[in-house]
Structure formats: C-alpha cells, structure tokens
C-alpha cells in the first residue's frame, strides 16, 4: 500500500456545501474510486484559509491515473467546480504533498 496526500482549496463561503455534497457522494463515483485502488480516503478542512487536505491509501497496481478519463469523474468535477479552485477541465487544483514523518 502507498499513501497519497494532497492540498486543494475551497472558494470562500463554500465549506458547508462542500461537505454536504460529499455526504451525498454518488455511489457510481465511490465505486470508480474503489475500483481504481483507492481506500481509506479522507479529506480534512482548514476553515480559515479554505485548505483541504486529502489523504488516501493506494493499492499496489492502482489505476488512479485513469480516473480523469472516466465520465463519472468529469461529471463530479463539473459538479464541484463552483466550490473550489479548479483547472480549465474543472479538475481540482491539487498540490501533491511529500511525506516527511510517519509514526505507526
């Protein structure tokens, strides 16, 4: 298993709606994430700056690089684009983070 962590940013005033939409995540999106090898996925919010910290476990042989090609992923990005900083294709602007410490 590999762990991936990243930062994203919400637009001001959208924290509650971001959380609501994730509380109602589409089953077909959850299935696609799981099928790609993602598990133990969590997103945390730092509310003052609107920073989102995501962390997920990636199975060996994961296919997360294929997710952007899926129609369900593109629909989710379009659905979330009004709430967060995005790239031109509506994918979230995400900054990968390097692990510098781990305590098991």
Query: Concatenated DSSP letters for 34-77?
Result: HHTTEEEEEEEEETTTTEEEEEEEE-TT--GGGGGGSHHHHHHH
Sequence ranges of the domains in the chain: 2-95
- Give the pLDDT score at 64: 97
Per-residue pLDDT of the chain (104 residues; tens, 9 = 90+): 899 999 999 999 999 999 999 999 999 999 999 999 999 999 999 999 999 999 999 999 999 999 999 999 999 999 999 999 999 999 999 999 999 999 98
Active site residues: 22
Cβ contact 52:9 at 8 Å: yes
The CATH architecture that domain 2-95 belongs to is 2-Layer Sandwich (3.30)
């Amino acid at each position: 298993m590999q762990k991936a962590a990243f930062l994203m940013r919400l637009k001001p005033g959208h924290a509650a709606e971001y959380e609501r939409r994730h509380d109602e995540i589409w089953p077909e999106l959850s299935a696609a994430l799981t099928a790609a090898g993602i598990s133990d996925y969590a997103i945390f919010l730092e509310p003052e700056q609107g920073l989102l910290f995501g962390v997920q476990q990636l199975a060996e042989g994961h296919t997360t690089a294929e997710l952007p090609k899926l129609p369900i992923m593109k629909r989710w990005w379009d659905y979330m684009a009004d709430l967060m900083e995005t790239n031109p294709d509506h994918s979230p602007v995400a900054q990968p983070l390097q692990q510098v410490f781990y305590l098991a």
